[in-house]
Chains A and B, each alone.
Chain A
Amino acid sequence: MTIVKDRLKSATAAPTRAARLNPLIVLVVGAAIIVALTYTLPPFRTYQLATVGAYLCVTAGLTVLTGLNGQLSLGHGALMATGAYTLALWQNKFNLLAVGIVVAILVTTAVGAVIGLAAARLRGPYLAGLTLAVAVVVPSITSTFDETFNSDQGLSVILNPPPESMTVEQWQAWLCWGAALITVFALTILTRGRFGRDMRAVRDDETAARLAGISVARTQVSAFVVSAACAGLAGALFAVIAQSVSPGAFPLTLSLFLLMAIVIGGLGRLTGALIGALLLVALPAIAHEIGESAGSQRLEGNLALTFFGVVLVVVMLAAPGGLASLRIPFRRFRTKKH
């Protein structure tokens, strides 16, 4: 029983460092910074800023799922697609964006709950394989039901013009960052409480968590549902930014990019999710510039892909203990190995 207590202690000890920051202050300061940026950055940078915000929604949710709860999902690109298509269909019928975003979140949450129920019973490579299958297969649904989803062409999204005092980019950045800050705020509150403690306990040792009276399955499903809701929100925001949705926007590589973002950003910390979201926008942009200066279209997307892959592999090999060592002190890992 002392083992269980130790585990729980280590599980609860982790967030104290982050706890010094008051989430409400972060929220207000963050909002102020974003507003200031949208009035100083040129339109294209503002658009990129909006994209970072949209990515932050999903990487934050995924950080909670993988970093705090230890579940790997390769299917969050598909969940984003779910949110995006829901919003597109809603907008084209009702054109009521605020409600549409909520509906997109709800629908994705429901889908996420179904996957999460299955995921809670699976471990390691089986879970990875199932979510990988979701990521590969779900985009093809658009071809199966092409009357609704218009197969590979996708759908355009009807949107009202932004308020007259703002540019489109400013409006997009405000929308995305408003959503992102609320998401991060909510996740911070959520993970600091009992739910966060339960998740860390489940991640570190399922048996010990069970002995301590934590329902492992319920915790895992909850974590999946929360992260799915975040992915749905992000998908809806991407549909708004791009003003269209198509299966090509949600390939398998998107899911892999998301994974990379949270691994590199540092698992289990929401600041890591922000770093990851920034990388997701910055790296392709840099690769794009290199490709343009080299005059090679082939380089563009593929350079980013290769770079992401190399970084992912190097981080995993260089961090002693890979994923785990990003949260467990090295000493503990070493004594466990023998």
Chain B
Amino acid sequence: MPYYSLGLEGSANKLGVGVIEHPLEKIAAYNHANVLSNVRDTYVTPPGEGFLPRDTARHHRNWVVRLIKQALREANIRPNQLNCICFTQGPGMGAPLQSVVIAARTIAQMWDLPLVGVNHCIGHIEMGREITGATNPVVLYVSGGNTQVIAYSRQRYRIFGETLDIAVGNCLDRFARTLQIPNAPSPGYNIEQLAKKGRHLVELPYTVKGMDLSMSGILEYVDNLAHDLFQGKKNKQLIRADGSKVTVEDLCFSLQECIYAMLVEITERAMAHVGSREVLIVGGVGCNERLQEMMGIMAKDRNGSIYATDERFCIDNGIMIAHAGLLAFRTGTRTPLDQSVCTQRFRTDEVFVSWRED
């Protein structure tokens, strides 16, 4: 009989539940995992507002039972067929994490199943590898709370470069708040649509520091430009070469060009450093078509290839937690009830990767 697991994810404003099936034997290119269900509900705030931990946690508590039921129904799986319950142990926002871990503990005890705590970042990486078939890529993990360049070495996903202050998704989300544009389906998506109409490049700070980068200064800078634009203040930077005015679309375009160029640059540096030709983009910002395009050009110049997934797996979801958790479960990992405490700080390189043999 194959293995089944149910994964619960709620580290930020998405609540996701998924059921995955692993055939017997080792998971490999010829032995794929099957996604049986992957449902999600996003807590969307009005334009100009971010999601607060308390409200997000309440959203998760309201929806978690409905989503678990829906996931099991779509997967056509009964609880007694499951092998384990997997949940996000961190990193993420405290209150949302906590409300989801309570749900996980509850169903684990109701159905008498073992718990497996999963690192959110590891979930993204493993699901990305499974879906795209990338074997040993350099991973760019970009989302609202994380920006890391990761490569695997000796049973750990090691962080080569990361943001020194805010994450790229956070930078985009906060700029979207300044612009007062809608948060649905996601602020980053709306910035992307505006950026498609932008043509003029406004010069922004370019802050790559070795393999790390910093984005808070860029956000401050572009925020100030936007304020000047709205208030009609005079600013040389807000005038194009032909004398016409810079638009909001131009600002979105420039922000994307600048920070994605930085991301691609540090990813390329990591690829050169570890000698890899594959690059995998995971995390919510990974859906961005311009980022994928830029990464693709870079990979092509290096005779390499890019692997990216679509919004089902890029944006936080339950299935990735189910998948990474089941991989760990099959090598003997269990999270006893008294150790199922979740944590806001949980680095990718803290996890011992027992399921990889290379």
Q: Do A and B come from one complex?
A: no
Which residues from chain B sit less than 8 Å from chain A, CB to CB? none
